[in-house]
Amino acid sequence: MGAKNHAVVMPDADKEDTINAIIGACFGSTGQRCMAITTTVFVGESAEWIPEIVERTKTLSIGPGWENADIGPMNNKTALARAERLIDPANNVGAKMLMDGRKPHVEGYPNGNWIGPTMYDNVEPGHAVYDEELFAPVFVAVRRDTLAEAI
């Protein structure tokens, strides 16, 4: 999968544990780790949890690690530019952007490599956020009706 780690969420999963795990796995380390889960495949009614994931994600802080921020800076300017290109809605036509993390204001750090949590829903193969390894704090939601379709 080209370092595109997927999680499949079934409707009978424990909601609280699943939401906490998804947020941590997606946004921890600013999504800049090989084991980040950027793509979550929601099966059936589990997709109803997406708005709650969005609301919880809005509470994540952006800033330097020494300030105990949830989302730190991107590794370098090149990584930031690549992430911004991949999350651009023009490269994801048909998907729904739920949160746009581009160009956040981080008090006291105007020149940092900042990108905030970004979230997309209704993503399919062919969208840049699905096809490319993101290595950034980006959540990608795919919806399927059955486990067989998810697999």
Residue 35 confidence (pLDDT):
87
Residue 62 confidence (pLDDT):
97
Bridge-based pairing state of the strands 37-43 and 118-121: unpaired
Residue 3 confidence (pLDDT):
60
Residue 2 confidence (pLDDT):
56
From 151, 61, 54, select the one nearest 104 (Cα to Cα).
61
Superfamily covering domain 5-146 = Aldehyde Dehydrogenase; Chain A, domain 2 (3.40.309.10)
Residue 125 confidence (pLDDT):
95
Sign of the torsion formed by the C-alpha atoms of 144, 31, 23 and 73:
negative
The low-confidence residues of the chain, meaning pLDDT below 50, are 1
- What is the percent of the chain where pLDDT is above 70? 98
Question: Could you give the CA distance from residue 10 to residue 44 in angstroms, rounded to a whole number?
Answer: 7
Residue 28 confidence (pLDDT):
94
Q: Give the active site residues.
A: 34
- Alpha helices (H) along 12-70: 15-27, 50-57
User: Can you give the pTM of this predicted structure?
Assistant: 0.95
Instruction: Give residue-wise pLDDT tens across range 67-104.
Output: 999 999 999 999 999 999 999 999 999 999 999 999 99
Average model confidence (pLDDT) across the chain:
95
